[in-house]
Amino acid sequence: MKFLQRLGKALMLPVAVLPICGILMGIGYWLCPSTMQGGDVTGIAQQIGYYLVKAGGALIDNMAILFAIGIGVGMSEDNDGTGGLAALASWLMMTNLLATANVSVIRTLSEDATLAFDKIANPFIGIIAGIIGSMCYNKFKNTKLPDWLSFFSGKRCVAIVAGVVSIIVSVVLLFVWPIVFGALIALGEGIESLGVLGAGIYAFFNRLLIPFGLHHALNNVFWFDTIGLGDLTHFWAGETSADVSWSLGMYMSGFFPCMMFGIPGAALAMVHTAKSNKKKVAIGLVASAAIAAFVCGVTEPFEFGFMFLAPALYVIYALLYAIFTVITVALGFRAGFSFSAGATDLLFSASLPAAQKTWLIIPLGIAAFIVFYVVFRFAITKFDLKTPGREDDDQEAEKKVVLANDNFTEVAAIILEGIGGKENVTSIDNCITRLRLEIKDYTKVDESKIKSAGVAGVIRPGKNSVQVIVGTKVQFVADEFKKMCR
C-alpha cells in the first residue's frame, strides 16, 4: 500500500502539467474554432489561436512520456532528476523493443496481439518506465565500480542498469502485455457498453479508490489513450462524439456539478451540524476546501477531512457522485477538464467542439448543492457521525488551533514536535495536500499537538506512517519541515 501511495503522489507531478494545456487549448479554440475542423486559419487572432492549440496539444499528446519522467523523478529519493533520465531511457527502450514491427519479427501476432502492441506507447507503459527508472536510482545511485570503470560509478550507472532491466521487462511484456491489454479492453468496453450507467459506475469507483491512491490506475483506462478510449485526450484534441465510439466527455462531465456545487453543499452541512463551540473550527477546515473544489476541482482537502472520521459517509459521498454523473450525462451536459472539474476548467473547456449544454451547470449545480447538503446533514445527525467540528472534545488542542496560518515555519515546528522530534522521523515526503512521514516510534506521536497547527487532520495508515492533511500549501510546510530535520 505504501508503494501505491508513493506512486499516486508521484503521478501528481506530471498531472500538474495538464492545467497549462487546458488554458492554452481553451483560449486557442476560442480564438480559432476552425483549428480541428479543416477550415482556413486567417488573421492574427486565428493564427495565435492555432499555435496555442498546438502548444497545448504537444503536451497532451505526449502524456505517456511525461508520466514516465514525472514518476521517475517523483519516486526517486530526494526527487533526483537522474531517476527521470533513467525512466526516459527505459521508456524509449521498451516502446522501441515492443513496437509491432519489431515484435512481429520474432513471433507471429494475432489480430488482438497486434492491436495491443500498436498501443504500446501509452501512459500505462510510461508508469512502468517511471517505476523502473526510480527503483534503479534508489538501488544503484551509490554503486562503486572498479577503478577502470569508475567513470560509471554512482548516478552514472543508473540509466545503464535501467536499460538492462527494461530489456528484461520487455521480454516479459512480450507475452504478458497482450493479456493485460485484453483485460483493460474488457473493463473499458464493459463499462462503456452500459452507457450513462457505466459512467456512473466509473465515477463511484473513482471516488472510492481515492483513499488508496488507486484511482489513477482507473483514470488511465478512461481518460488517456491506454486502450483507445482517451476521453480526456480526445476531448482536448478538438474532436466530437462523432469521431469516437462513445459520447465524448461522459467520463468527465459528471464531476463538475459535484465538485463545484456538491462539495460546498456538503461543507455547509458540516458547519451547520458542528458543535456550537466548534463551528469556527469547522468553518476553518471546510470553507477553504470548498472554495478549492469550486475554483479548481481540488477535492482532497475536503475528502480527507472526513473520510477516515466517517467512512460510511464517504461511501454515500461516492454514491452521490455516481447518481449525479448519470443525471448529468443523460441530460447532455458535456465539459472536459485538463486538471480537475472546477470552474477554471469549465470556463476553458466550454469553447471546445465537444462541449455541450454547459449552461446546465446552473440547474445541475443548484440541485447538487441542495442534495449534498440535505443528505450530509441527515446522515450526520441521524447516525451521529464524527465529521469536522463533531469530534470528541479536546480543549487543550482546541485552544491552540491556529487556522489559515501562513507562518509555515511555525506550522512545521508544531508538527515536528507532535511527531516526536526529528529523531523520530525516518522519511519525509508530500503529495498535493498531505505531508507524508515515516517514523520510528508510533507511541511518540501526539495527534492533538499536530492538529493544533491548524491542519485539516492526521491519518495513521500504518504503524510507522503518519500523514498530515495540510492542504494545497503543503509544499511550503514540507520545505520548512525538511530544513528542521537536517
Q: Tell me, yes or no, if 431 is annotated catalytic.
A: yes
The whole-angstrom separation of Cα 34 and Cα 47 is 11
Contact 31, 46 (CB under 8 A): yes
Catalytic residue, chosen from 32, 157, 258, 431, is: 431
Contact 59, 66 (CB under 8 A): yes
Ordered alpha helix ranges (H), 331-390: 343-349, 361-383
Inter-helix orientation angle 123-140/81-97, to 10°: 130
Q: Which residue has the cell 513496437?
A: 99
Contact 87, 72 (CB under 8 A): yes
| Residues written for the chain | 486
Residues 6+ apart with CB under 8 A from 43: none
**SS3 string of 130-199?**
HHHHHHHHHHHCCCCCCHHHHHHCHHHHHHHHHHHHHHHHHHHHHHHHHHHHHHHHHHHHHHHCCCHHHH
Tell me which amino acid residue 36 is: M
Contact 48, 467 (CB under 8 A): no
Three-state secondary-structure class, residue 109: coil
Contact 27, 52 (CB under 8 A): yes
| Residue 468 cell numbers, joined | 498530515
Tell me which amino acid residue 469 is: I
Residues 6+ apart with CB under 8 A from 142: 154
Q: Which residue has the cell 447538487?
A: 368
* DSSP letter string, 411-478: HHHHHHHHHT-GGGEEEEEE-SSEEEEEES-GGG--HHHHHTTT-SEEEEEETTEEEEE--TTHHHHH
* H helix and E strand count, the chain: 23, 4
Q: Which of 203, 300, 286, 294 is nearest to 8 (CA)?
A: 300
DSSP 392: P
- For residue 141, what are the CA distances in angstroms to 76, 168, 439, 471? 10, 20, 24, 32
Q: Which residue has the cell 446533514?
A: 377
Q: Which of 209, 273, 285 is nearest to 453 (CA)?
A: 285
Strand-pair partners of 469:
434, 457
Enzyme catalytic residues: 431
